[in-house]
Amino acid sequence: MTAERDACERLITLGKLPTTGFYSPSKAKESWYSSTLKSVLKELDQQAPTTTQKQLKPAAQTSYSQLVAVALEALISGDLDTAMRFRAELMGQFRLNHAQVEAALFKDYINRQCGAEVAVEPECVDLSRLGGMDFLVDGFVPANDQTHVYGKAGCGKTTAALEMAFAVVDGTGYLDHSHPAQPASVLFIASDSGAVPLKAALQEMGLDDHEALKASSATRFYVWASEQSQGTTAWAADLRGCIRLQRFVEQHRIGLVVIDSCKAVCSAAGLDYQNNQLVTELLTFFKQVICPHTTVLWINHDGTVKDASSGAKAWQEVPSAVHQITKEDQSNRRTWQARKMRVGQERSFDFGLQDGRLVLLNGAKPTGKCSEQIVGVLQEAYLEGKEWLNKSELRERVCVIGGPSHKTLDNTLSTDSQGQHPPFMRVRSRAGCYRLADRLKPSSKAHIMNGKEEGQNPVQQMDLTTSRQVPMGSQREGKEFPRESLGN
């Protein structure tokens, strides 16, 4: 019955069957799918060819790469009929399923947007030309990257995501990290809950009248969700939806995109979020095309395997940070576990809900960065003639009574020395030793004092390249696409 299943998938791709429909073995026995597909293709052949179709040779003589290219061109230009026709042609000629065709389109679009603009590809990467990783939300979300948060239904994932979103909007700390997040605008994609439940959650948190929600030029919290009264539909993670998202984050300088949830946005696009090949291509698209302009937080459900999310393995393998939220039955206590951190520390702590907001429990206390103290100590050492200090010397000078702990110091040294524009960095060939960034080296003791007196924190003054500062079109020069073709 493989031929009947292929015919069924092609009919779905052509829009002749609903994406939510089921494969019927009884219809397959009667060859209903193949006979229906034959009639549909005959009808399409009788229709007048579009300009895009005229550019191709007959289907039997058309190569795989040509079919992918034309299907993608039609999709970008908004010619959905042609796009669907050639998607079906790909499935028929090359025995591909829906997921494989979608993955091929994602890959081709990525190559167009992110292809190296050099005549000859270099043999290897020059690491000296690359920067490090910064946090958007300290201790939780790396900037210009992807983060994955998952947990069982009712554990408070949406509330935690909203709290994090407004930490970014307001530039405040989050849960066990008091260091303020980088202030930015947020897009919350509520394809799972919808607009009304999201509004109810904001009301419960006391955030429904926040200044950032007001529809004006000052809007900093945007929502995409299904709302029939306003004519909006749930966002879908197909290529067309992803291109729309790319344009929106560039136009509105979005610093954080929250997607709730992985399953909902894939299902809305007729995609299998358990298909590892397709999910890998989707997340690769986000990493290479979306994340240069913004930061992405994916919300997911628990899987059947212990301590794993639902869906494909790629949901946990590709993002740079993975967090799990668990909740005790009939209890307010929840546990946050940072299970994967490519920058920062893995850890676990308890929290709960109080008046709709997140609070730390069981004696957990927020920790702040001690970048300012480290910079001050290194500046003083520099004036003493010491180009660098080892970790033991930094502990003696920074971890004084009432100051940060050894663990906080170690974490700050690890994370802040790896940023795009670090205030201090490791000394080459000297393990455990750190020096000031050249731009922060003082000329005198008065230089340090004046900076503090005038409220010019040397760490806060850093010119960090955040998602909000990427010039629009800077990475797309010569590759602009029509902005009117996909709608709003």
Going along the chain from its start, the domains and CATH numbers come out as 2-114 (no CATH), 135-360 (3.40.50.300), 371-468 (1.10.10)
pLDDT tens profile 229-275: 999 999 999 999 999 999 999 999 999 999 999 999 999 888 889 99
Enter the tokens of residue 35: 């006979």
Q: Is there a contact between 380 and 373 (Cβ–Cβ < 8 Å)?
A: no
pLDDT tens profile 192-236: 989 999 999 999 999 999 999 987 777 899 999 999 899 999 999
DSSP string computed for 399-433: S-TTS--HHHHHHHHHHHTTSSS-SEEEPTT-TTE
pLDDT tens profile 463-481: 333 333 333 333 333 344 4
Q: Is there a contact between 374 and 394 (Cβ–Cβ < 8 Å)?
A: yes
Enter the tokens of residue 297: 């937080």
Identify residue 204 by its one-letter amino acid code. E
Q: Is residue 452 predicted with pLDDT exceeding 60?
A: no
Contacts of 318 (CB under 8 A, 6+ apart): 146, 280, 283, 284, 287
Packing angle of the helix pair 2-13, 80-94 (nearest 10 deg): 170
Q: Is residue 392 helix, strand or coil?
A: helix
Q: How far is CA 290 from the centre of its chain?
A: 7
Rounded Cα distance between 418 and 181, Å, is: 17
Number of residues that this document lists for the chain: 488
**Other CB atoms within 10 Å distance of the CB of residue 116:** 9
> Which has the closest alpha carbon to 173: 424, 373, 365?
365
What pLDDT does 473 receive?
A: 38
What pLDDT does 474 receive?
A: 38
Q: Is residue 48 predicted with pLDDT exceeding 50?
A: no
From residue 439, alpha-carbon distances to 430, 462, 466 in Å are: 21, 9, 19
What pLDDT does 13 receive?
A: 64
- State phi, psi for 104 to the nearest 5 degrees: -65, -40
Q: How far is CA 433 from the centre of its chain?
A: 34
Rounded Cα distance between 435 and 257, Å, is: 35
From residue 208, alpha-carbon distances to 162, 190, 439 in Å are: 11, 16, 43
- State phi, psi for 342 to the nearest 5 degrees: -75, -15
Q: Is there a contact between 322 and 316 (Cβ–Cβ < 8 Å)?
A: yes
Q: Is residue 169 predicted with pLDDT exceeding 90?
A: yes
- The arithmetic mean of pLDDT across residues 318-325, rounded, is 96
pLDDT over 90, % of the chain = 43
pLDDT confidence bin for 410, thresholds 50/70/90? confident
What pLDDT does 429 receive?
A: 85
Ranges 1-15, 63-77, 448-462: which has the least confidence: 448-462
Rounded Cα distance between 384 and 269, Å, is: 63
pLDDT confidence bin for 181, thresholds 50/70/90? very high
What pLDDT does 30 receive?
A: 81
Q: Is residue 158 helix, strand or coil?
A: helix
Q: How far is CA 384 from the centre of its chain?
A: 45
Angle (CA) 338 234 104, round 5°: 75
pLDDT tens profile 360-402: 998 888 887 888 889 999 999 999 999 999 999 999 999 887 7
Sign, CA dihedral 142-144-149-155, equals positive
> Which has the closest alpha carbon to 239: 186, 284, 178, 176?
284
What pLDDT does 173 receive?
A: 94
Q: Is there a contact between 158 and 191 (Cβ–Cβ < 8 Å)?
A: no
Residue whose tokens read 């906080």? 408
Examine residue 261 and say whether the peptide bond preceding it is cis (omega within 30 degrees of 0).
Answer: yes
Q: Mean of the per-residue pLDDT values for the chain?
A: 82
Q: What is the DSSP letter of 302?
A: B
pLDDT confidence bin for 46, thresholds 50/70/90? low
> Which has the closest alpha carbon to 144: 247, 252, 256, 250?
256
Q: Is residue 66 predicted with pLDDT exceeding 80?
A: yes
pLDDT confidence bin for 165, thresholds 50/70/90? very high
**Other CB atoms within 10 Å distance of the CB of residue 311:** 22
Enter the tokens of residue 397: 């000078």
Ranges 119-123, 332-336, 365-369: which has the least confidence: 119-123
More confident residue, 372 or 188: 188
Q: Is residue 95 predicted with pLDDT exceeding 90?
A: no
Helices then strands (H, E): number in the chain? 17, 14
- State phi, psi for 61 to the nearest 5 degrees: -105, 5
**Other CB atoms within 10 Å distance of the CB of residue 483:** 9
